[in-house]
Amino acid sequence: MSEANHKDAPKAVVFENVSLRFDEQVVLDDLSFELEHGATKVLLGVAGSGKTTILKLALGLLRPDSGRIFVLEHEVTAMREKDLFELRRRIGMVFQESALFDSQSVENNVAFRLLEEKVPEAEIQKRVTEALRFVELEHTLKLFPSELSGGMRRRVAIARAIISNPEVMLYDSPTAGLDPVTSTTIVELLVKQRDVYKTSALLVTHRLQDAFTMATHYFSREQNKMLPVPHGWDWDSKTSFMVLKDGKAIFEGDAAAIANSDSEYIREYLSP
């Protein structure tokens, strides 16, 4: 087990000079960034700019050509696949196409981690119902993934990822290809996860609007819904933005900074 090499407060995710190429194509070029505990970092960039790759690297599903990656103070890049399985149980990932096990029911999909850990059946049932209630899909327990809509599948994938209360969440375009109403439901879930469970997260998205919603809304436990942060509130959404271009981070900052950025590329990216 390796220790993180930084003196400051421990970080949830750290990338240090990470480079990766696929054949001749540069995917990441000397990329460094940090994600603090409890914070959310939104990764923006055109298709093919290496956003998904960052999530897969953080999980150790891919290995970089050079550089070091730390997740929850473990050096992922120095760990054997065998030891990574243990660490991955503390991380939740929502894949772009949901990646649900299509030959298993929603119940077994969500319970997968708990079944693997041989948790007693009564507790599995309780936690599966709880996780499905979180994404408002308790009624789909016995259905199969093929019987669900795209948005519902995404929500089941979120339930499957959060069931073991992960400390870090990795979302790969959770709202891609969904209608605005369903997208908002999903963003609300991410905000809820951030504000209620204080989970650190990396969020890949193409939908800027969702990213701004994340930064400008909070989850009200009293009303059990997401609300816009009122003016004059001293409130930190802990949500920052990172824009990737040609394997490098060309911008890092909060919502206000990105909205006022004078970089031509970012202005063009932001313009509807």
Partner 1 sequence: MAFSLTEYAKGNVLAVQEYSTLSWKAVAALFSQPRYLGDILQQMDIIGVGSLQIVVFTGFFTGAVLALQSANSLGRFGALSFTGQLVSMSMVRELGPVLTSLMVAGRNASGMASELGSMQVTEQIDAMRALGTDPIRKLITPRLTATMFMLFFLTILSDLVGLTGGSAIALLLLRLDLNEYWTSAWQTLRYADVFMGLIKPVLFGFIIATVGCYYGMSAKGGTQGVGRATTQAVVVASVFILAIDLFVTRLLMVLLGPL
For partner 1, the binding residues (CB under 8 A) are: 56, 59, 61, 81-82, 85-86, 88-89, 91, 93, 95-97, 99-102, 112-113, 116, 160
Give the three-state DSSP class for 242.
Answer: strand
| Least distance CB 119 / partner 1 (angstroms) | 13
| Least distance CB 99 / partner 1 (angstroms) | 4
Query: Looking at beta carbons only, is 84 or 143 nearer to partner 1?
Result: 84
Q: How many helices (H) and strands (E) does the chain have?
A: 9, 12
Token pair 């509130």 in the structure block, residue = 233
| Least distance CB 95 / partner 1 (angstroms) | 5
Non-local (6+) Cβ contacts of 188 within 8 A are: 219, 225, 226
| Least distance CB 105 / partner 1 (angstroms) | 15
Query: Looking at beta carbons only, is 115 or 255 nearer to partner 1?
Result: 115
Give the count of alpha carbons within 13 A of 131, CB side only: 28
Q: In the 8-state DSSP scheme, what is residue 153?
A: H
| Least distance CB 191 / partner 1 (angstroms) | 23
Q: Are 78 and 2 in contact (CB under 8 A)?
A: yes
| Helical ranges in 89-238 per DSSP H | 106-116, 121-134, 150-162, 180-197, 208-216
Query: Looking at beta carbons only, is 89 or 225 nearer to partner 1?
Result: 89
Question: Rounded to a whole number, what is the distance in angstroms from the first to the last CA of the chain?
Answer: 46
Query: Looking at beta carbons only, is 153 or 194 nearer to partner 1?
Result: 153
Query: Looking at beta carbons only, is 95 or 251 nearer to partner 1?
Result: 95
